[in-house]
Structure 1
Amino acid sequence: MRLHWIDSLKGIGIMLVVLAHHSLPIALDTYIFSFHMPLFFFISGFLFDFGKYAESASNFVKGRFRSLIVPYFCFALITCLFYYMMDELFTPGVPSIEFFKHIILVENSILHGVSHILLGFGLAVSYNSPLWFLTCLFVTELLFYGLTKKYYSEPRKIVFWLTVSGIIGYLYSVYVLPFRIPWNVDVALAAIVFYGAGNLFRKLTESETESRTDISFKLDSGIRDKFSKNGKYLPVIATLLSAFYLGYLLKFPTENKVNMNVLQYGENFFSFYILAFVGIFTFVYLFKKIGSSNVLEYYGRNSLIILALHFPIKDVVTKVAAIVLGVNSEYFYYNAGFALGFTVLNLILLVPVIYVINNYFPFILVSRQSTIVG
C-alpha cells in the first residue's frame, strides 16, 4: 500500500534541496543542510523491504544498480551535454563551469571528465553536485542489506554496527580527508546510520497488523510497546528543539554547516547526528499528521528527476535573471526572497521536463514517476 504522506514528505524534502541550492541567507542555509539529505537516507531506510530480496543478493544489487546507477550515468551525460551546448551557444571556446575548465584548459583530455563521472564523489561531480547522492545511496543500501542479512533476527547488533559505522565515518572525515573513496563509500559510512534508523522507525511505529513480516529485522512487542509509550513525546521535543536551533542560527549564524557530499559534518559528531534527527523527526511527524498533498506528492514521486536536473535549471534561471536585471549573479546571493522565487520558478520549469522524461525517455528510470527513494 502506497503511503501518501511519505510521497508528500519526499516532496517537501526535494523542495528544500532545491531551495538550499539557490543561495539562502547563512542561517537558513545551515538549518536546511543540517537535515535535508539525512532525511532522504531516513526515508530510504523506512521504505526498505528486505523480504523482497532476502533470498537473492544478486537481484538486490541488480535492482538497485538499475534504479540508482543507471540514472546517475544518464543524468551525468545529459548534464554535461547541456552545459557544453550552453557554452557553445553563448561563450564558444570559453567553458563556464570548473568541470569543463579543468578538462579543456588544464588536462586537455576528455578522459579526465570521464574519470570524474566514474568516480562519482565530491568535487568530481562539480558539474552537477546533487548527483553524489545516487552513488552514495547505492553503496549505503548495499551495506545495510549485508548487515541485515547477517543479523536479521538481532536488531541490537544491527544498532551496534550502525553506531560503529557512524563513528568510523565521522573519524574518516576528520583524519583521512581529503582522500576520497569512489562512489562516496566514505559518506555512506555516516549515511547508513540514518538509513538504518528509518528502517527501525517503521518497525517501531507500525502496529502488529500493519507490520510487514518481511521487513529488514524483527522487533519483539516489548520494545515496540516501550517506544509507543515514550515516543509520544518525540514530536513535541523534536519540534521545540528544531525551532530553538533555527532561532539560535538566526541570532548567531554560522558557516560551519553540514555538507555530506564533501564530508563536512558540522561542529562535531554529536551535533551532526542530533540536529539531523531533530530536523528529520520534526518533518516526519508533521507530515504524518498533515497527511497528503497533491502538489507535494507530485514532486515527491518525481524527486529523482528533480534532484538530477534542478542544478542546471538553477544556473539558467539565475543567469537569465541577471541579464534581464543587468546585474551580476552575485546580486542574488544570500537573499531569501530571490531564493524562494527562483525555487518556485525552477520547480515550475521542471514540470515539462518531468513529463518529457516520463513519457519519452522512460528507460532512464526504473518506472514512470521514479523517486530518489522507494
Structure 2
Amino acid sequence: MIHNIPTWFYICLYGLEMFYYIFFKHVKKRYIGLIILIIAGYLNYTFNPYVLPFSLNTALVGMIFYGFGYELKNRKYIFKSNIIYIIFSLLLIIVVAHFNGRINMYKNYYGNYPLFLVGAFSGIYLIATLSTLLSNIFKERKWITYVSKNTIIISGFHLLMFSFMKGFLVFVLHIPIAFLYEKILINVLFAAVSLVLCLPVAYIINRYVPFIVGKKKSPLRG
C-alpha cells in the first residue's frame, strides 16, 4: 500500500462486487436494497470509527454507487447534454465542497453524510453528461479508446510516474517541489505528462506480459 497507494481501490472493488452479488441475490427489489445500503453506510460511518480490513466499510458505501450505476446503465437518456443541468450540478458540487470539506473514502470519512451523497451524485452526473457531450463531439478516437482500455495500468503506474517526475524536477532541473503547490494549471499539465508516460508502459505490458492485467493478448497494438 505504501508503494502503490491506488491498489487499495482494487481490493475494495473486489470485495464490493462479491458482496453486491450476495446482497442482491437475496434482495430482489433493487431500490429497497439501495435504500438499505444508504442507511447501512450511514450507520457504519457514524458508529464505526475503524477502517476495516480490505476497505470493507468503504465497499459498503461504494455499493450504493455501484447499484445506482447498474440501474441507470440502460437509461442513458438521463445523461443527455443539457447546459442548465450541467451548470446546476457543477454549482451543487461547489456548494457541497465548500460546506462539507474534504472527504476520504479510504479512511471512511465523508463529513456530512447526506451532503456527501448529494455531492457524489452531482459529480457522477456531471462527469457522465460531459463524457456523453465529448463523445458526441469527438466521436470515436483510437487514442481515447486506447487510454480507456488501459486505465487499470495507468491507475497502477501514475503515482510512480509522479515520483519520477518530481525527482526529475528536484535533482535534474533543481526546481523545488513547492513549485507545484496550489497551481491548478501546472498540476493539470503535470498529470497530463504522467498519463503520457504511462502509455508506453501500457503498450509493453499489453504486448509482452498481458497476463499481468488478466489478458491473454493485447487488444490494441501499435
TM-score, length basis structure 2? 0.83
Cα distance between partner residues in 1 of 2:178 and 2:99: 20
SS of the residue aligned with 1:300? helix
Shift of residue 245, structure 1, vs aligned partner: 4.2
Cα distance between partner residues in 2 of 1:165 and 1:236: 35
Shift of residue 321, structure 1, vs aligned partner: 1.4
Cα distance between partner residues in 1 of 2:85 and 2:174: 44
Cα distance between partner residues in 2 of 1:315 and 1:202: 37
Cα distance between partner residues in 1 of 2:14 and 2:188: 31
Question: Alignment partner for residue 71 of structure 2, among 169, 191, 200?
Answer: 200
* Number of residue pairs aligned between Structure 1 and Structure 2: 214
Opposite residue 202 of structure 1, the aligned amino acid is K
Match of 1:280 in 2: 124
SS of the residue aligned with 1:127? coil
1:303 and 2:151 correspond: yes
CA RMSD of aligned residues (A): 2.8
Q: 1:243 to 1:159 in 2, by over 3 A?
A: closer
Question: Alignment partner for residue 24 of structure 2, among 103, 126, 148?
Answer: 148
Structure 1 unmatched runs, 5+: 1-124, 207-227
SS of the residue aligned with 1:260? coil
Shift of residue 151, structure 1, vs aligned partner: 2.6
TM-score, length basis structure 1? 0.52
Q: What is the percent sequence identity of the aligned residues?
A: 24
Cα distance between partner residues in 1 of 2:169 and 2:184: 15
1:167-208 C-alpha deviation (Å, 9 max, x unpaired)? 23432xxx432x2211110111111100001001124x16xx
Say if 2:80 and 2:133, in contact at 8 Å, map to a contact too: no
Taking the TM superposition and a 5 Å limit, the aligned residue runs for 1:1-374 are 125-152=1-28, 154-171=29-46, 175-177=47-49, 179-203=50-74, 205=75, 238-245=85-92, 256-265=101-110, 267-291=111-135, 292-294=139-141, 295-367=143-215
1:68-100 C-alpha deviation (Å, 9 max, x unpaired)? xxxxxxxxxxxxxxxxxxxxxxxxxxxxxxxxx
Match of 1:107 in 2: none
SS of the residue aligned with 2:202? helix
Point out the structure with max Rg over C-alpha.
1
Cα distance between partner residues in 1 of 2:146 and 2:153: 12
Higher relative contact order (CA 8 A, sep 6+): 1
SS of the residue aligned with 1:261? coil
Cα distance between partner residues in 2 of 1:353 and 1:258: 31
